[in-house]
Structure 1
Amino acid sequence: MARDATGRDAPTRRDYLTYGGAVLGGGLLAGCTGTGADETTTPSDSTSTEATADASYTVSMAPMGEVTFEAVPETIFTRLTHLAGMAFALGRGNDVNALHAPDYYDALWNQFTPRLPGVELDWTGRYSSWTTSKEKLYELDSDVHLADPASVVALDDWTVEDIAEISENVGPWFGNTFSDSHSEPPAAYADAYEYYTLWEQFEKVAQVFEDEAKYDALAAIHDDVLDRIESGLPAEAERPSIVMGGFSDPAAPYVYNVDTPGFLSAHVRPFEPVDAFGDDVTSGSRVDMESLAEANPDVILVFGGLHPSYDMAAIRSSLEDDPVGATIPAVENGNIYPQGGRYQGPVLNLFQLEMTAKQLYPDVFGEWPTYTEGPYPEIPESEQFFDRQRVADVINGER
């Protein structure tokens, strides 16, 4: 799909044309890439799904290429929560058997589910899969590994041969991680790699589960949200400067660029924000209070601020009580707001677009309530960016 300057995916659906799987490591991944032909087209004009005579079907995405499924997967291994969040959006969240920091992300996701009538999610006690082993994947025996094989090879003790072994003996790989910030994949995957938006990747995951109707419904809601943002976006001169980061230690936060490509900023980039640090700080860097004050942000966005383990009141107080921090416009004016997660998935993306709109432009989109703790705040129905019941119905298959 093409993406314009505002971050919109267009069109919502695309025509499907066949393309072959990419060759990696001299054919080592033939077991999970299908034909083994060189990939010669871009994701925007390539086939995503193709049924075969024996009722199996294929879905194509870099870096895997063309992946064949004999049946719709039932058990789902994931590492990062953008992919676990896609399973959740398709009503398959409880079929996820592994993810990074499951108890942490269960608590975070369940700050949003109370606003979705009848939607339930339980990731507690799942296998924590940030690092994993072949032995564990054999034990889990998952039908699909919603994980980027390139990101797994980037771990210690994994090779492309190991990836092929798991694909052949357990279940295929299907995921794309380095689209998070358009970073470089391992050399073995560099020639096969393509970058996708959050919603492009979600479309392909929906095809893995043969549930394109849910993608279509949620993508239409996403389009409506972007339309609302675009129609109300103030002129560039009226946009605030922003710092976005992790403030578990308010005196030394980790900060992230807000205007870089990739799905980590999919909830902020549509607002065409002003990055307070600009090019002076690399995303993920730790800064001190003096550097934060020098950046002089109008707004501070706190990643994880909605998580029950975060104390937003304490973070605000810490910045207000610091003699340097107290001089920052965002602190002086009380513009310190919580966010959810960076690897957000489509449903959290909808919520985070809504909350970011209100946090940055309350005069246009309605005020974000002062938040200290508890689930995602109740927003007056007239100021909601999307119908909660509609989203819940899509997730639960009641559309």
Structure 2
Amino acid sequence: MARDDAGRGAPTRRAFTKYGVTVALGGLLAGCTGGDGADPDSSAPDATGSESTATGSTGDGSAESQTADDADGSYAASISPVGEVTFESPPETVFTRLTHHADMAFALGRGDGVTALHAPDYYDGLWNQYVERLPGVTLDWSGLYSSWEPDKEKLYELDSDVHLADPAWVTQLEGWDREDIDEIGEHVSPWFGNSLSDRHQEPAEGWADGYRYYGLWEQFEIVAEAFQERERYEALAAVREDLLATIDERLPPEAERPTAIMIAAADIEQIYAYTLSNPGFLTSHTRPLGPRDAFEGDVESGTVVDFETILEADPDVILYLGGMEPGTDMAGRRAAFEEDPVGSQVTAVQNDRIHPQGARYQGPILNLFQLEMTAKQLYPDEFGSWPRYESGPYPEIPEGERLFDRQRVADAINGAL
């Protein structure tokens, strides 16, 4: 329900959640040419792991979230950059801005409770390409509020139980400052998210103290604590551990691995290249697979490249971001390379190894699928071949060639634990 200005002098019913005493905020918004592009995944039509660090320390330990149930049933959870938040009951409706958070809510059984995300129709189509392969699971994000540049008044109207978004990043947007963040946190509901872990972005001046970087699944564990969904998290984490064990067991020696690049292009005249192993959860589906970077570190993530640059690198495999989205003409993307006098000389093109990808801002569910598909795209001899994809949902992989159990994932999402 929308709130008028007269109602903002004191906390609303949203007093059921409150911030604790520890708050440390920080953030930085990347511009369109500042690294990874203005859009989280530049393949979106309306677009312009295992790491955890706090000011340099690294590791992959358990979630930093400290939870404790009080006598009144309330409990606390902590995440950087927000600090500690006390909840009196688990959130049901969830504001998100980026899809790694929306996917976490979905994984924890709150898919229908998501009230906003960036480019909802685009990502609804993309995510449902994968959800199609999860028996008994449905997802509908179409028509939600598009929150790439959220309006404060709209957040009052949405009246979400939690804002699963990084306030440090939001304050870099036009029209938002720390006072706005605090107002929403007090009068609507708390913020509880971390996004600068995407590629270990440097927090803005005055916000860096204590900002911590998380691996994708480490942050998912923290979010699960906030939602009181430990069992769902543990069920999905077990699937991931089995998947990573399979990958580690079959992964060929580094010298025998293919060279690869990841690109995205809504218009083939402007191709963005992305790195495969840099720190951050954007590479949480490629880093464990250890392909050799065809650019050899000479091209920064988000750089615009042309066919000549790609031919000079001459990758064995090209991973094409957004290629799984229903509106993407994957056959046309391949044809653009095949019909170009320079692009047609690239080894990946000649060997028909241009493969679709989903999204870099992945949550746990997309991460499982992308680990499987990328393993097959890079190492068909070890993990089974990836079908030549042009359209439709995620291919139906024969049961004996699947790298994770779809039913286990579906049961976790549906709460059949």
Give the equivalent residue in structure 2 for 1:34.
20
Checking the alignment, whether the CA contact within 8 Å between 1:257 and 1:278 is kept in structure 2 is no
CA shift in 2, pair 1:100/1:38, >3 Å? closer
The alignment of Structure 1 onto Structure 2 pairs a total of residues equal to 368
Q: By how many angstroms is 1:188 displaced?
A: 3.3
Checking the alignment, whether the CA contact within 8 Å between 2:24 and 2:211 is kept in structure 1 is no
Q: By how many angstroms is 1:200 displaced?
A: 0.4
Q: By how many angstroms is 1:322 displaced?
A: 0.4
What is the TM-score when the length of structure 1 is the normalising length? 0.89
Letter aligned with residue 337 of structure 1 = H
Q: By how many angstroms is 1:45 displaced?
A: 7.3
Q: By how many angstroms is 1:203 displaced?
A: 0.5
79, 87, 91: which one aligns with 2:109: 91
Letter aligned with residue 234 of structure 2 = D
Letter aligned with residue 148 of structure 1 = D
Checking the alignment, whether the CA contact within 8 Å between 1:251 and 1:289 is kept in structure 2 is no
Matched, 1:303 2:337: no
CA shift in 2, pair 1:327/1:216, >3 Å? same
CA shift in 2, pair 1:156/1:270, >3 Å? same
Matched, 1:366 2:352: no
Instruction: Give CA-to-partner distance per residue, 1:113-171, whole Å, 9 cap, x none.
Output: 11101100000110000001221111111110000000101111211111111101000
CA shift in 2, pair 1:130/1:181, >3 Å? same
Structure 1 runs of 4+ aligned residues shifted over 6 Å read none
Checking the alignment, whether the CA contact within 8 Å between 1:78 and 1:97 is kept in structure 2 is yes
What secondary structure is seen at the aligned counterpart in 2 of 1:51? Answer: coil
Matched, 1:345 2:363: yes
Checking the alignment, whether the CA contact within 8 Å between 1:147 and 1:173 is kept in structure 2 is yes
The 2-side partners of 1:374 and 1:157 are apart by 40
Unaligned runs of 5+ in 2: 1-16, 26-53
Checking the alignment, whether the CA contact within 8 Å between 1:242 and 1:297 is kept in structure 2 is yes
Unaligned runs of 5+ in 1: 1-30
What secondary structure is seen at the aligned counterpart in 1 of 2:168? Answer: helix
CA shift in 2, pair 1:62/1:32, >3 Å? farther
Checking the alignment, whether the CA contact within 8 Å between 2:93 and 2:110 is kept in structure 1 is no
Give the equivalent residue in structure 1 for 2:209.
191
Give the equivalent residue in structure 1 for 2:229.
211
Give the equivalent residue in structure 1 for 2:85.
67
Give the equivalent residue in structure 1 for 2:29.
none
Percent of aligned positions that are identical: 60
Give the equivalent residue in structure 1 for 2:299.
281
Checking the alignment, whether the CA contact within 8 Å between 2:324 and 2:356 is kept in structure 1 is yes
CA shift in 2, pair 1:47/1:246, >3 Å? closer
Q: Larger RCO: Structure 1 or Structure 2 (Cα < 8 Å, ≥ 6 residues apart)?
A: 2
Q: By how many angstroms is 1:252 displaced?
A: 3.0
What is the TM-score when the length of structure 2 is the normalising length? 0.85
Give the equivalent residue in structure 2 for 1:264.
282
Give the equivalent residue in structure 2 for 1:20.
none
Instruction: Give CA-to-partner distance per residue, 1:162-206, whole Å, 9 cap, x none.
Output: 111110100000000000000112223211210001100100111
Checking the alignment, whether the CA contact within 8 Å between 2:24 and 2:82 is kept in structure 1 is no
Letter aligned with residue 34 of structure 1 = G
Give the equivalent residue in structure 2 for 1:227.
245
Matched, 1:100 2:118: yes
The 2-side partners of 1:243 and 1:389 are apart by 32
